[in-house]
Amino acid sequence: MFKVIEYFTCFSRPASNFPLFKNSIKAKITDYTQLENMALTNPVRVGVIGAGSFGTAIASLLAHNVEVLIYSRKEALVQQINQTHQNFNILFPDHVFATSNLQLMASTCHVLFPIVASAHFREVMQQISPFLTPEHILIHGTKGLDIADVDEAIPFSARQVQTMSQIILKETNCKRVGCLSGPNLATEILLGQPTATVVASQYKEVIDIGKKVLASSKFHAYGSHDVLGAEWAGALKNVVAIGSGLLKGMGYGKNLQAVLITKGLQEMIEFGKAVGASEQAFYSMAGIGDLFATTTSKKSRNYTFGYRIGQGEQVEDVIASSLELAEGRRTIKICRQLAIYYRLQVPVFEALYYIIVEKASTLSIVNTLIEHRQL
């Protein structure tokens, strides 16, 4: 599945001179003990912070081109990956390693892909921050939102809400930051199925490096400078995916799902306008592309979350029995307060909030879709 590659020795210098793709081949790591014993001043690999399904999928893509170091706080999982080279039933090539040491991760990886649930993202950035320098490049893959020091029960503006890029900028001294957004269902990537993504950043350098380390015959990365639009589109579509799964779980077909997705996209754009994102981002690969994949597949965590509730399960039971977090549940609570603050007419998001958070009848979403006139 993966081609054999050799590795580059990369010396500390400005990222524009980062010789990741040059022919300065020096050594090949074959034993994890060599990794731990290497000098910590010589970044030679790409790091993935997070060993969940999407982090594992990104690591598998990176392994086509570079040596990969995966961070997990779970020591047992680190040992499993290093001893068996497996995670999520995927066999890694022998140049993929794992560590629970964030200092080692930062010291030996110039390019990092943080892929951590939004609820823990800030904490992880605070933990790794002492080991980061302005030379690091961080491209996150977390499609969620966060608030800090805000009462969730009181309406708040976009100034109190942060995307993951904004958290990186706030909590670390890194400036070259970007995000991944697009139709990237982890399960399909792990199966080797082709797809594409968007690498969004203010910096062309970040886009170019992201595209190069991820490129393969089955994965293409497009570039965009609209970071805000890509991040908000990626976060908001999770809410619509919950609604689509909910309808399927209740026994409804594609007709009503299509109505929900259409109205949901319109409401996503309304939120985007309120927070200053461009409307065009929602019609891109990062917007409607990601929306279509996530709202139509049981391989989507958010779709499955909604589906199980539509089947009659309680929200708490679904959360307790889920291996990974459905980001849309957290996002919908944030969106509720934003909608009140900006006086947005977003009936689909409102109905889903009452179903998921306030435990209203699931039939309320059907009434919203059929009775509300605005399209």
Per the prediction, the chain carries an average pLDDT of 88
Are the C-beta atoms of residues 362 and 309 closer than 8 Å to each other? Answer: yes
Q: pLDDT value at position 372? A: 63
Could you say which of 182, 212, 229 is where a domain stops? 229
Looking at the structure, tell me whether residues 198 and 183 fall in a common domain: yes
Looking at the structure, tell me whether residues 151 and 266 fall in a common domain: no
Is the pLDDT at 375 greater than 50? The verdict is no
| Residue 155: inside a domain | yes
| Residue 89: inside a domain | yes
Is the pLDDT at 24 greater than 60? The verdict is no
| Residue 358: inside a domain | yes
Give the other-Cβ count within 10 Å of 84's Cβ: 10
Are the C-beta atoms of residues 328 and 242 closer than 8 Å to each other? Answer: yes
Domain of residue 351, CATH code: 1.10.1040.10
Mean of pLDDT values over 19-40: 42
Looking at the structure, tell me whether residues 86 and 116 fall in a common domain: yes
Q: pLDDT value at position 45? A: 86
Looking at the structure, tell me whether residues 259 and 296 fall in a common domain: yes
| Residue 2: inside a domain | no
Residue-wise over 211-236: b if at least 16 C-beta within 10 A, else e?
eebbebeebebbebebbbbbbbbbbb
Is the pLDDT at 28 greater than 90? The verdict is no
Looking at the structure, tell me whether residues 158 and 62 fall in a common domain: yes
How many domains does the structure of the chain reveal? 2
Looking at the structure, tell me whether residues 208 and 141 fall in a common domain: yes
| Residue 1: inside a domain | no
Domain of residue 123, CATH code: 3.40.50.720
Give me the amino acid identity at 340.
I
Could you say which of 177, 194, 229 is where a domain stops? 229
Looking at the structure, tell me whether residues 204 and 274 fall in a common domain: no
Length of the chain in residues, anyone? 375
Looking at the structure, tell me whether residues 222 and 296 fall in a common domain: no
Q: pLDDT value at position 239? A: 98
Mean of pLDDT values over 129-136: 96
**Beta bridge pairs of residue 69:** 47, 97
Pick the range with the lowest mean pLDDT from 35-39, 194-198, 216-220, 304-308: 35-39
Is the pLDDT at 187 greater than 60? The verdict is yes
| Residue 72: inside a domain | yes
Looking at the structure, tell me whether residues 165 and 252 fall in a common domain: no
Looking at the structure, tell me whether residues 87 and 32 fall in a common domain: yes
Q: What is the pLDDT of residues 211-228, one digit of tens each?
A: 999 999 999 999 999 999
Looking at the structure, tell me whether residues 39 and 110 fall in a common domain: yes
Could you say which of 199, 229, 259 is where a domain stops? 229
Q: pLDDT value at position 36? A: 54
- Separation in Å, CA 123 to CA 233, 257, 311: 23, 36, 35
Pick the range with the lowest mean pLDDT from 26-30, 185-189, 192-196, 366-370: 26-30
Give the other-Cβ count within 10 Å of 254's Cβ: 12
Is the pLDDT at 37 greater than 70? The verdict is no
Are the C-beta atoms of residues 128 and 105 closer than 8 Å to each other? Answer: yes
Give the other-Cβ count within 10 Å of 118's Cβ: 23
| Residue 174: inside a domain | yes
Backbone angles phi, psi at 192, to 5 degrees: 80, 15
Q: What is the pLDDT of residues 51-82, one digit of tens each?
A: 999 999 999 999 999 999 999 999 999 999 99
pTM, rounded to two decimals: 0.87
| Residue 263: inside a domain | yes
Give me the amino acid identity at 157.
S
**Whole domain around residue 362: which residue ranges?**
232-371
Looking at the structure, tell me whether residues 42 and 166 fall in a common domain: yes
Catalytic residues: 237
